[in-house]
Structures are given as structure tokens and as C-alpha cells.
Amino acid sequence: MSRMSQKVITVGNSLAVTIPKESARKLRIKAGDTLEFSEHPSVRAFTMRAKEDTHANVNPDVILWANAFIDKNRKLLMRLADK
């Protein structure tokens, strides 16, 4: 774990803290990723972590097959969902 200091900046009506490029690379964070924050007011701190990708451990072929199955059977699946 490394420590660093970053300034808080204003972006529109919000506050923001930038993530240094090297830190983002090490943590595999990229623009568009969702981060989860936990506040710790008693010590004036927060922690953040990347929200886990729900498909990270799923074989891409299974996702393709499931999407094709859903597309092919959409009407039937919608009727089953209504019951």
C-alpha cells in the first residue's frame, strides 16, 4: 500500500479527486469504471474500491450462448415471466 496526497478540485457543483495514472494502472481502474466508497467520518477518511465486474469469471462463450438463447426465445420467456 502506498500513500499519496491529491488536491480536492471543483468539477461543476461537485468535488473531485484525481487518480494518478500510475495508481490507476496498478489498480486496473479506467475511465468509466464504477467505484464504491465507504465513509469514515470519525477519522475524516474514506476508502474506495473498484466495483467488481459481475461477468469477470464467466466464460465469454457462455455469455454469447445465453444472449443468443434469450434472443431466440424472447417471446416464450416473456410469457413465462408473466405467469
Beta strand pairing call for 45-50 and 35-40 = antiparallel
Which of 14, 33, 13 minimizes the C-alpha distance to 24?
33
Q: What's the pTM value of the predicted model, to 2 decimals?
A: 0.51
pLDDT tens profile 49-62? 877 766 667 788 88
pLDDT tens profile 17-42? 999 999 888 888 888 888 888 999 99
Alpha-carbon span 61 to 71, nearest angstrom: 15
